[in-house]
Structure 1
Amino acid sequence: MTVRLLASGVALLLAAAASWAGLAASHLDGYRWDEASFVPADGRPHDVRLADDRTAVLWTYEPDATPDCSAVDTTTGRDLPMAPLDASYRREGGSPGDWTGTASFEPASATVEVTCTGGGGSTVHETAVAVETAPRLPAPLVGLGAWGAVPGVLALAGLLALGAAALLVVRRRPAAR
């Protein structure tokens, strides 16, 4: 039993290390958005399909001016008030800077119409905002994505298995005397 727990713990820690390495390699050039998530800051309304009707977040490219945006729920026709975010939502943007969650709104359906004006920069990523359903992860883990939690869970399971094996060894020693 102890040997199996020890082997399982080591295997889980090795899997966690491999997962972390894969995660780091996949994030070398920053977070990749689906092109359908971008809303140009051109003053025209653009339909955006969200994953569901949970809170939506507007992401802007950090080095540039934040565009002014408004949202309308396409099902109800109701204006959706924007709530500013405290910049705790961040995603890697590569060497120039990061994406920052700057505002959120509460849609009543999964389709909204977003209109943005202003903003700076010269590329689509610098003159647009990305709109998506708010991540379910806590803000500090958002940059990793949901699959980023897998290495942490594997490492925790590995440490628990090693701890259980150590506890079994310690409990058996006094009984052997």
Structure 2
Amino acid sequence: MIVQQLVQTLEKKVQQLYQTHQAQQEEKIFAKFDRALFSENGQTTAFYFAEINQTLKKIQSLDSGELNHYSFIAERLLKQCTALSEALNRKRKSPLLNSTALKPHQKRTSHDIHTLPPRERLEKYYEALQQLNHLYQQQRDNERLAVSETEKAYHSQLAERYKKRRQKCQEAIDLLEEYLAFKKKQENKNQSRK
């Protein structure tokens, strides 16, 4: 009886997840999933739902008196659902970071930043630093809230990436501020000579 309720609850969870993200079936997801959860990265939402359904079928067809078998597969299924849901929600919240259609444009924009005058470039770097700080903090929060060790490791890894990018951004800001200070000194010297 307990097993049947568990299976029904899991079926509902998968169905709800599918209905919530039905419109995103053909979208590619570029999150790096744990290999224990999904067999491949960089696939469509439909691909990940197919793998979730395989796990669901496995638990539905399981004929074992051992509750450990059920709980092991149920835990995997829940982790798959959570990982996919988080990836899809991140994609929805920040389409600029995840959308394939916008990635080439985003790269172009980052190259355009280098052609901007120093003051405007500095402004853009500060905006980027603020965004990286936010993303870093978000991953740290996710790491604290994570239930499993796999989730914690995933969020910790992402946080480290954002931390490195943040350091590079800060170095670029420092360099640009030094340059602007030097340039201002030069201008002041030139004006005092006149």
TM-score w.r.t. length of structure 1: 0.35
> 1 or 2, which has the higher strand percentage?
1
TM-score w.r.t. length of structure 2: 0.33
> 1 or 2, which has the higher helix percentage?
2
